[in-house]
Amino acid sequence: MWLNYIVNTYSFMTEHEMNTEQKILDAAKDVFQQKGLTGARMQEIADKAGINKALLHYYYRTKDKLFEKVFEIAFSLFIPRVKEMMGSDRPIMEKIAFFVDNYLELLNKHPYIPGFIISELNRNPQILVNIIEKNIQIKQNRLIELLDDQIQKEVKAGIIKPISAKNLMTNVISLCIFPVVARPILQGIIFDNNKKEYDIFLKERKEFVKDYLINSIKA
């Protein structure tokens, strides 16, 4: 009887803790998405989650640790899909299109990610490497080697022009992430601070980036 009571109590506490943490993560994602890492406040996140600030600090001691967790969750949904595609035998051009589609979808859903990446590159880049390797479960250099091998085969077959995997992936990521990171500048100068037009531009850019990258390497 007492054993059942203890087990049931423990199960209730565990479920309650999981629900509380999920509320925190959902609230944090919303606040970070609206205000970024710098503008977000722990008190605001606690209020949105419906808990007091002391309980929030019990789960996540600092705002940076909470942000890292939110960032990791977002990337954990993206990386496995990309890993599977990049490690497959699909043509390089299909892989480019797949990566661009999924990466831009990730950035659109989580616009705070580029700012976090830039911040951590200057402060603690190893955090990003650890998060990516944890979800890929393989050294990223190995994926680059596999991609290089495939590129060489498609070059010999006359399908694409010679290019290194490092240059290709740098081009892909740069073309995807720059308009999101530089939004305040581009939206202000090119779009006269018209947010609606810039949002349309970002949606349309997905097809442009895919076509641009594919045509740049097509033999």
pLDDT in tens, 178-194: 898 888 899 999 999 99
Task: Determine the Cα–Cα distance for residues 105 and 130; give it in Å rounded to an integer.
Answer: 22
- The model's pLDDT over 14-63, given as tens digits with 9 standing for 90+, comes to 555 678 888 999 999 888 877 777 788 999 999 999 999 999 999 999 98
Task: Determine the Cα–Cα distance for residues 37 and 49; give it in Å rounded to an integer.
Answer: 17
Residue ranges, comma separated, of all CATH 1.10.10.60 domains in the chain are 1-61
Task: Determine the Cα–Cα distance for residues 196 and 66; give it in Å rounded to an integer.
Answer: 31
Which tokens hold the place of 44?
Answer: 């605001």
DSSP-derived letter for residue 1 is: -
* Mean pLDDT of the chain, nearest integer: 82
Q: What is the pLDDT of residue 106?
A: 81
Residue ranges, comma separated, of all CATH 1.10.357.10 domains in the chain are 63-217
Architecture of the domain made up of 63-217: Orthogonal Bundle (1.10)
Q: What is the pLDDT of residue 164?
A: 94
Contact of 92 with 71, CB cutoff 8 Å: no
- Number of C-beta neighbours around residue 42 at 10 A: 16
> Following CA atoms 184, 186, 190, 192 in sequence, which dihedral angle do they give, to the nearest 10 degrees?
-10
Mean pLDDT of 186-214: 93
Per-residue confidence band for 140, with pLDDT thresholds at 50, 70 and 90: low
Q: What is the pLDDT of residue 27?
A: 92
The stretches of 50-139 forming alpha helices (DSSP H) are 53-59, 63-86, 92-109, 113-123, 125-136
CATH class of the domain whose range is 1-61: mainly alpha
Q: What is the pLDDT of residue 51?
A: 92
